[in-house]
Amino acid sequence: MTTSPRLSALLRTSALALVCAGSLCAAQAPSAAATPTLRVAIGGKADFTTVQAAIDAAPEAGAVILIAKGTYREIVEIHKNNITLRGATANPADTIIVDDHNAGENGGTLHSSTVSVYADDFHADHITFANDFNHTHAQVSTGSQALALMLQGDRAVLRNVRLLGNQDTLFAGHHGCMNTAGKDCSPARSYFADCYIEGNVDFIFGDGAVVFDRCEVRSTAHGAGGYITAQGRVAPDEPGSVYVFNHCTLTAETGAGHVFLGRPWRPYATVIYLHTVMGDAIDPAGWHEWHEGETHSLETATYAEFDSSGPGATAANIAQREKFSKQLTAAEAAAYATRTVLSGSDNWDPEKVR
């Protein structure tokens, strides 16, 4: 597998970062030779050299962490609720958190993430999360799952965020649901607005309740083709586990091969595309079995589209869609509106979260 030229171009030495708690923060111009420095205002002022140190120093009630332009090479874990990571400019390419952990060397896929969020009410704005394992380990072909971001907390909101990777770029789900076969679990809810996500194999996966609104989803080059989603709904009665792509755009690099909208990681995978523009790399069949000839999850998965457009969704292509998938009516599509999918018992409205 290869890494996107876009990812390679973004990996530069950085300057510094600024961290704010509450309404307190102060700007500082970066110098070319400066070590990445973070400032956190928590009833005073303290400086930290990593994003993780700033998170660790944040109050238990949470903090807004404003990160200045630059590249921060580190592993980040978030266990406190109400943490916001925000790039200091409106361009998410200006602020990058990146590392190159992978599944093969770090105890499995869910231990490979650059940024791991275990807490609730996580927010991210104007920032890039990346995993450049395939760039730094170009010859390694096994254990190449390498997450840029893992979300296991509830009510996450990400706006104008870039996620860069190849295999398994984003995990969005709740760790308890798969282990309990969907019983007594509550899939974590996430909302992505105006984001950019790239990868090639199963690069958006998990069992959460997730809406992608106005996002660009880009498939990177991969000779054997690619799979955008590997949704992990375990049981038919698992509440709320669904991935919805609404008014998104599906693009691909040259050499991306045949790209499928998804394949079912678990038997009841549920993925819906609404008003999505699909590029010409999308395979006419649309959907693919997990392991053809071995599994039969397409028969139980819920794979559907409404109002798809673009060269990957011509009338001729739609006619060739996998037989177990479905084209929704307008009334059926309405059931996958953002508020309907994500509101939950607490009536959460992520579109109002800023």
Active site residues: 168, 202
Strand partners, 118: none
Tokens of 217: 């989803």
- Burial of residue 214, with CB atoms counted within 10 A of its CB: 0-12 exposed, 13-18 middle, 19 or more buried: middle
| 249: number of Cβ within 10 Å | 17
User: Which residue has tokens 């093969």?
Assistant: 104
- In contact, 326 and 303? CB cutoff 8 Å: yes
- CA 90 to centroid of chain Cα atoms: 19
Residues 6+ apart with CB under 8 A from 143: 102, 103, 104, 105
How far apart, in whole angstroms, are the C-alpha atoms of residue 201 and residue 109? 13
Residues 6+ apart with CB under 8 A from 304: 271, 272, 273, 325, 326, 327, 328, 332
User: Which residue has tokens 């010409």?
Assistant: 280
Q: Which amino acid is at 95?
A: T
Tokens of 246: 């609404």
| Degrees to nearest 5, angle at CA 347 with 126 and 270 | 75
Computed on alpha carbons and rounded to an integer, the radius of gyration of the chain in Å comes to: 20
How far apart, in whole angstroms, are the C-alpha atoms of residue 270 and residue 237? 12
| 166: number of Cβ within 10 Å | 29
Among 342, 81, 88, which residue's Cα sits nearest to residue 192? Answer: 342
Cα dihedral 282, 286, 287, 292, rounded to 10, equals: -80
